[in-house]
Structure 1
């Protein structure tokens, strides 16, 4: 996995996300309760005008997480395969990090991570009650409504990408973005509570 490279926003990203989510939705229809799952385009590629790594992030929220083996079997018709991370401590592979102020039990942070190198896409499968799943949607929507903050975030990402250029992966880049998230979290929470 190469180091992070930030490119200009591509209007085709949401269309790719819709196409990939349609395939995922069709595959996950084999699971009980699939009608109640939430399918979402998340991350920077879901914010119009925001420069990003050209990797589309998708999220599925469901009440309970099936085993990795079961999800791998069900997702076999799609281009998604399990993602294992670049390092043993790669962030966000098996579980998400608890954010300051989160009240959920540890099990709510478990996740299943898949990727499609051919499609340049990542699929995050999280529990419906995951605070992190709610956070990424709130952050996406807040950035959509606050273009000045989206520009600020892009500037930070570009600086971090330059700082970590040549790295064998983008794990350190990903960890470094946490400072921005911690800074805006109170604003995002207040905004989401009032929406």
Structure 2
């Protein structure tokens, strides 16, 4: 796992994928956002574009939507431990290029993603603190993505809680 310097091309990659995903989900998608570290100018990140699409209810995502995303290279990954979202990966396992998270539009999980991203975008010191944390954890958990993600969780939750006040 490697944290690289911010790359403005990440935005272009998101915009390209957004257009294709919105077309594939045209009848159910209520909104789409670039999330994760690649959505925060100046923040180092794994070179992996995280996006979220919002739908009225996860039940509206049908087989034909999953098939349309598959044509674009997105594989549906069943994640029963995360019932608040549907998850799709583009690229190889552990070497994906894009992640698509489908949430209930404007639901709690959707809003938490935006709170965290926006807090980092609007507070340079907070963004720098998160950047240092990510780089330290990437060294500590070089071959353990689950451990890396778990180790960031308390920081992320504290930012979301502060932003929600």
TM-score (norm 2): 0.88
Which residue in 1 is equivalent to 2:75? 81
C-alpha distance 57-72 of structure 1, shift in aligned 2 (>3 A): same
Cα distance change of structure 1 residues 95 and 69 upon mapping to structure 2, 3 Å threshold: farther
For structure 2, the 5+ residue unaligned runs are none
Q: 2:6 aligns with which of 6, 9, 25?
A: 9
Within a 5 Å distance, the mapping from 1:7-46 to structure 2 comes to 7-29=4-26, 31=27, 33-34=28-29, 37-46=30-39
Counterpart CA distance in 1 for 2:127 and 2:76 is 30
Task: Give yes or no for contact 2:24–2:65 (8 Å, CA) kept in 1.
Answer: no
The structure that is strand-richer by fraction is 2
CA deviation map 1:118-151 (0-9, x unaligned): 7700000011243111111111111110011001
Deviation of 1:49 (Å): 0.3
TM-score by length of 1: 0.75
Alignment of 1:17-166 (within 5 A): 17-29=14-26, 31=27, 33-34=28-29, 37-65=30-58, 66-67=60-61, 69-84=63-78, 93-94=79-80, 96=82, 109-117=83-91, 120-166=97-143
Deviation string 1:32-58 (CA, Å, 9 cap, x unpaired) is x44xx1111011100000001110000
Say which structure, 1 or 2, has more relative contact order (CA 8 Å, 6+ apart).
1
Give the deviation of 1:173 after TM superposition. Answer: 0.7
**Which secondary structure state, in structure 1, belongs to the residue aligned with residue 103 of structure 2?**
strand
Tell me the secondary structure at the aligned position of residue 164 of structure 2. helix
**2:52 and 2:102 in contact (8 A); partners too:** yes
Q: Displacement of 1:185 after TM fit?
A: 3.0
Q: How many residues align?
A: 161
Partner SS for 1:81: strand
Cα deviation digits, residues 80-112 of structure 1 (max 9, x gap): 11135xxxxxxxx3454xxxxxxxxxxxx5211
Corresponding residue number in structure 1 for 2:154: 179
3-state SS of paired residue (1:17)? helix
When you count helix as a share of all residues, which structure comes out higher? 2
Q: Which runs of 4+ in 1 moved over 6 A?
A: none
